[in-house]
């Protein structure tokens, strides 16, 4: 039997890290305030990085820090000190794309494992072997590979391999994009992507300024660069049998609800497979869970075939979802059955809510009793992050999510 692959989840903030770990991630990846490719992803101060490592290690999870920017010489100031700090707090690995950063890391913190980021565009076994020879302990494969190519690379190399299995797809080769630079001056390869690929486009002829021609025969224009989101959960057996070591979820800029729901769906699927591989079947509840969070329509990307026009979204860049995140359980009093909840969206008495939990089974109930923080009865909780108390029909866990159908 293949070894159980690591489930690697995104952590854009400390709260998202806690959710990822509690909902089943074996490891998380995150960025500090510098040297990463998600400048708008929240990111961690040095103090938060130390807290993140402490929390993750207390729950037997690993922490990988992104240092995958493509720096110019002026960007390198402070890098050695930052790497020394990451090593001192016990991070488990660095994610690196640039060869110069890789070299500095090898010299500065030689005992810290280095993972080669997907931004390095690794699509063949020769490149994997070259990175291994330089000292890499893991290579994150480019999204542009098929499952057959991944399996072939696995047979050819001994180093750990990681692949993306869920989340947003970039129009450019593994994220190496210049659209943002060209249109906004924000360098996507230095952490400041403006997501120009999600914009609505039309053609303009030079001698006809102000006259816009739709690229597709549709009066709304078209989002010609707007890919569907990757989702490979229905194909989990093929992924595991390919021998890949880590299954990675995209989304450091996604919501708490997204991180928790997607992580738990993949966690349950992976565990179910290894309990009984011969009789494994996809539970519709797992795929339904993936539909509850904000996402674009799903695709399998490059894994089974070359993408076609069907893998793009032309009419809109909007998202879809079937559930709405309305609250997060902070505490629960088993003696009284009351939970302390931090409101995340407007909620009121009489509506049906769903409790989605890190470990325990979820359940539904009608919201019948609610008080404010002082214990006074209220019918509605309209204020962002308002602390309320709600009587629960069943016990609930801290960090359980309250949500309602849309």
> In the structure encoding, which two tokens stand for residue 28, read together?
């998380």
Do 235 and 382 have their domain in common?
Answer: no
240 within a domain of the structure (yes/no)? yes
What pLDDT does residue 211 have? 78
220 within a domain of the structure (yes/no)? no
335 within a domain of the structure (yes/no)? yes
Do 11 and 36 have their domain in common?
Answer: yes
176 within a domain of the structure (yes/no)? no
Do 150 and 36 have their domain in common?
Answer: yes
Instruction: For residue 72, count CB atoms less than 10 angstroms from its CB and return exposed for 0-12, middle for 13-18, buried for 19 or more.
Output: exposed
We report the CATH number of the domain holding residue 342 as 2.40.30.10
- Distance CA(69)–CA(100), nearest Å, equals 11
The answer to whether the beta carbons of residues 293 and 261 sit under 8 Å apart is: yes
**Displacement of CA 352 from its chain's centroid (Å):** 29
Total number of domains constituting the chain: 2
86 within a domain of the structure (yes/no)? yes
Q: Which residues contact 285 (CB under 8 A, 6 or more apart)?
A: none
Strands 229-231 and 160-167: antiparallel
What pLDDT does residue 315 have? 66
- Distance CA(106)–CA(25), nearest Å, equals 28
Residue 48 belongs to what domain range?
6-170+228-311
Q: Which residues contact 28 (CB under 8 A, 6 or more apart)?
A: 8, 9, 10, 11, 17, 20, 21, 52, 56, 61, 62, 63, 64
Do 280 and 332 have their domain in common?
Answer: no
Do 100 and 16 have their domain in common?
Answer: yes
**Last residue of a domain, which of 253, 281, 311?**
311
We report the CATH number of the domain holding residue 108 as 3.20.20.70
Do 238 and 375 have their domain in common?
Answer: no
- Which residue, chain included where needed, has tokens 């991180």? 259
**Last residue of a domain, which of 270, 287, 311?**
311
Do 275 and 392 have their domain in common?
Answer: no
152 within a domain of the structure (yes/no)? yes
> In the structure encoding, which two tokens stand for residue 205, read together?
């002829």
> In the structure encoding, which two tokens stand for residue 128, read together?
């994997």
| Coil/strand/helix, residue 80 | helix
pLDDT, tens digit only, all 406 positions of the chain: 689 999 999 999 999 999 999 999 999 999 998 876 555 556 899 999 999 999 999 999 999 999 998 888 988 989 999 999 999 999 999 999 999 999 999 999 999 999 999 989 999 999 999 999 999 999 999 998 999 999 999 999 999 999 999 998 876 655 556 666 657 777 665 566 777 776 777 767 778 787 776 655 455 455 666 788 899 999 999 999 999 999 999 998 899 999 999 999 999 999 999 999 999 999 999 999 999 999 888 888 889 988 776 777 766 767 899 999 999 999 999 999 999 999 999 999 999 999 999 999 999 999 999 999 999 999 999 999 999 999 999 999 999 999 999 9
- Distance CA(115)–CA(162), nearest Å, equals 9
Do 157 and 234 have their domain in common?
Answer: yes
Do 41 and 149 have their domain in common?
Answer: yes
- Distance CA(23)–CA(187), nearest Å, equals 33
String of DSSP letters for 215-276 = SSS-TT-B-TT-BPEEE-GGGHHHHHHTT-SEEEE--TTS-HHHHHHHHHHHHHHHHHHHH-
Beta-carbon count within 10 A of 243 CB: 15
Do 41 and 101 have their domain in common?
Answer: yes
> In the structure encoding, which two tokens stand for residue 139, read together?
């290579």
DSSP 44: B
Do 133 and 252 have their domain in common?
Answer: yes
- Distance CA(190)–CA(118), nearest Å, equals 15
66 within a domain of the structure (yes/no)? yes
The answer to whether the beta carbons of residues 189 and 70 sit under 8 Å apart is: yes
**Displacement of CA 66 from its chain's centroid (Å):** 13
218 within a domain of the structure (yes/no)? no
Do 28 and 151 have their domain in common?
Answer: yes
- Distance CA(320)–CA(182), nearest Å, equals 29
Among 24, 31, 70, 5, residue whose Cα is nearest residue 251: 31
Distances (CA, A) of 19 to 27, 28, 259, 341: 12, 10, 7, 15
**Last residue of a domain, which of 311, 345, 379?**
311
The answer to whether the beta carbons of residues 204 and 213 sit under 8 Å apart is: yes
- Distance CA(126)–CA(152), nearest Å, equals 12
What pLDDT does residue 297 have? 86
Helices 46-58, 14-22: crossing angle, 10 deg rounding: 10
Enter the pTM of the model: 0.88
């Amino acid at each position: 039997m293949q070894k159980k692959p690591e489930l690697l989840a995104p952590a854009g903030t400390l709260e998202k890290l806690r959710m990822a770990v509690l909902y089943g991630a074996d490891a998380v990846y995150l960025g500090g305030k510098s040297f990463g490719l998600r400048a708008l992803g929240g990111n961690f101060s040095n103090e938060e990085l130390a807290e993140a490592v402490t929390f993750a290690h207390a729950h037997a999870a690993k922490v990988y820090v992104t240092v995958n920017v493509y720096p110019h010489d002026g960007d390198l100031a402070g890098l050695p000190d930052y790497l020394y700090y990451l090593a001192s707090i016990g991070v488990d690995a660095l994610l690196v794309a640039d060869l110069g950063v890789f070299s500095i890391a090898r010299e500065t913190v030689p005992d810290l494992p280095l993972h080669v980021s997907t931004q390095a565009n690794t699509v063949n076994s020769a490149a994997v072997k070259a990175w291994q020879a330089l000292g890499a302990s893991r290579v994150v494969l480019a999204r542009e590979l098929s499952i057959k190519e991944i399996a072939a690379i696995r047979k050819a190399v001994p180093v750990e391999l990681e692949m993306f299995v869920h989340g947003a797809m970039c129009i450019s080769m593994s994220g190496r994009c210049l659209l943002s630079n060209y249109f906004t001056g924000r360098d996507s390869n230095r952490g400041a992507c403006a997501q120009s690929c999600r914009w609505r486009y039309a053609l303009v002829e030079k001698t006809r300024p102000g006259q816009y021609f739709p690229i597709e025969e549709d009066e709304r224009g078209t989002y010609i660069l707007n890919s569907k989101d990757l989702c490979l959960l229905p194909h989990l057996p093929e992924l595991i049998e390919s021998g890949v070591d880590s299954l990675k979820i995209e989304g450091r800029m996604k919501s708490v609800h997204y991180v928790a729901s997607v992580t738990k769906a993949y966690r349950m699927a992976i565990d179910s497979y290894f309990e009984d591989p011969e009789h494994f079947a996809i539970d519709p509840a797992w795929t339904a869970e993936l539909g509850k969070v904000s996402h674009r329509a799903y695709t399998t990307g490059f894994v089974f075939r070359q993408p076609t026009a069907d893998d793009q979204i032309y009419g809109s860049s909007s998202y879809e979802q079937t559930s709405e995140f309305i609250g997060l359980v902070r505490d629960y009093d088993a003696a009284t059955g009351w939970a302390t909840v931090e409101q995340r969206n407007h909620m009121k008495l009489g509506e049906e809510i769903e409790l989605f939990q890190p470990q325990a089974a979820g359940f539904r109930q009608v919201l019948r009793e609610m008080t404010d923080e002082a214990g006074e009865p209220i019918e509605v909780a309209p204020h962002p992050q308002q602390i309320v108390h709600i009587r629960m029909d069943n016990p609930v866990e801290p960090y359980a999510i309250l949500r309602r159908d849309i």
